[in-house]
Structure 1
């Protein structure tokens, strides 16, 4: 962008075009974001550097379940910022025990292990399952085997992308860690057939988010739980996106009354303020880890614990889960009522939907760009699906407006194409 004044670049009034050009010049090209630069946010709405407002229908892939800058969460962070923000786990801080106690109560598990990102939490669960397999189940050294589901998304570390079925995530990053078998998601018989004497865990998302908000067949999670119990295998539930209120339950597994051996959590646990993640399990599983075998400098830091405790307090009222159930029913009813020549399928649960465009409709990316023009933020996945995951503080009227804009955007893009 040509400079029109003698002021340094830092003094230039930011515009969307200017900021996008700066990012393009100096950041890795590992994302292809929509052309919007957010400057402020509150509740379910954001404002860009040009002063335009947008309804956020993505909520940071569930990291913003409680909306932008939720007052209780911001206040918890501010109070902690005035006291202490980091000690590392070399020392204890005065909020750690309370955080662990609160998260144990929320999950119904006896112990928690805090980390930072969702991918770290998944890696932690995988290490825990292998260690448990060797120390408790008696699997021979270096033979531990874990079954995963196809079309999964558990993060982007080397180990995780090694069992991804998404070419964009996997291709070009090998060689990969052994010990994983991929079976079709939702197929309990295929999962059972993949179990071997060396199998130590089954890792899956109760609802697959990145795949397009795919809900498994009724009874699948129950069947997985039964298989894991029968075969003495740990059930590892990746609730990073699906947990903490998104589906209308505290955890998506709750819909079938299923309790996994290990909960994997992230995103919303940090209240949209900072990365907070972790796993929860009972002592007979968690206690296979000993000092020095796993850790994180920032895991369970004072600021993270303060914000996460405020998140847990919100969830323990049950209000976010109830809003997700009630408003989710309305959202899905509105989406299912869209013309079938525009929308081929609507998937999801709670305030979480995957809108698959009908054959012949424009690519989902183009529709999301038209939505952006209309003041709605949403994101595409797998070319033909639009993901909707608004903050749980969204209103019924805002949802109606967003669905109206979606229908108009599809029609508008179809007419252009």
Structure 2
């Protein structure tokens, strides 16, 4: 959490740690709690490929008797009834339930929703000639689209956005935000139980595997998917726009429109992946990893960001990846982000960026690139704000180009 971790030197910091400690580095979490930070691409891949040795079951942690009830990282590593901490055959069935419900999302319907909400958000700001593309756009669009896909009305979805963002930020209002999202999800499930309709929530509730899980478990998984789907997608949008506005390699994208959006999005997943570090995995027995002796019950934090920048994988950090998608940004193995969820996130992010460039073709930073500030999070990588300026344009309803 030092200054190098919070600014643009994070990539070099990971490399320095690797040079000093190897691919697995000893770290301390708040309260001087020890853990292992896995920096190497091969080691992250090894852990995620072997759930029998490196489990997602947080109940295995050998330090629980030393962790106070108010430890700030409890929400990230605590024992939870969600799919994130379920293992074995039960996780396979639970994962299939979620994946099938998400896979049924029509990609054309997804794009229609994303375009409509994106246009509506841009209509609110296009006449001003200036905006914050994080707070006014990136942090709103994914939540609106996901709420609609789950089965909420547009009005209900708009009401959920502030609560989802408060929950994710973990600051003042987080608990109230959590309670509001949970209550809304519960009401949606109750209504879909008696009256099935289109949407992810209804498909989860009436899946063939649903009888094997309680209503509370399905509710927990809905919460995980809408929250975990929103913030990384918002950061993917924001980080991609930052790259396109600050990196000469993508300068042509702004005037050329859509053709380089996919390339920039792929580059972000290598260079500034939204999912930076994930807690975690727990060793089921004593073992060796990256030259380190790992004790049964030790906590390992997976650094997707460090693994993506591993010199053995990317010896030249400045070279474009050319569409290579071997990044670990969506995880790997049994607990990776479900493929349909990845497709939905990519659809929302790409549509949001393309619509923005269509509507505001001369958008440019309103501050220097050095003035941009990253959020102080060890887990996710995203900007506090992205101030821009552009030529004021009319809304779509008033004769816009779309």
Q: Output the TM-score relative to the length of structure 2.
A: 0.28
Higher percent of residues as helix: 2
Higher percent of residues as strand: 1
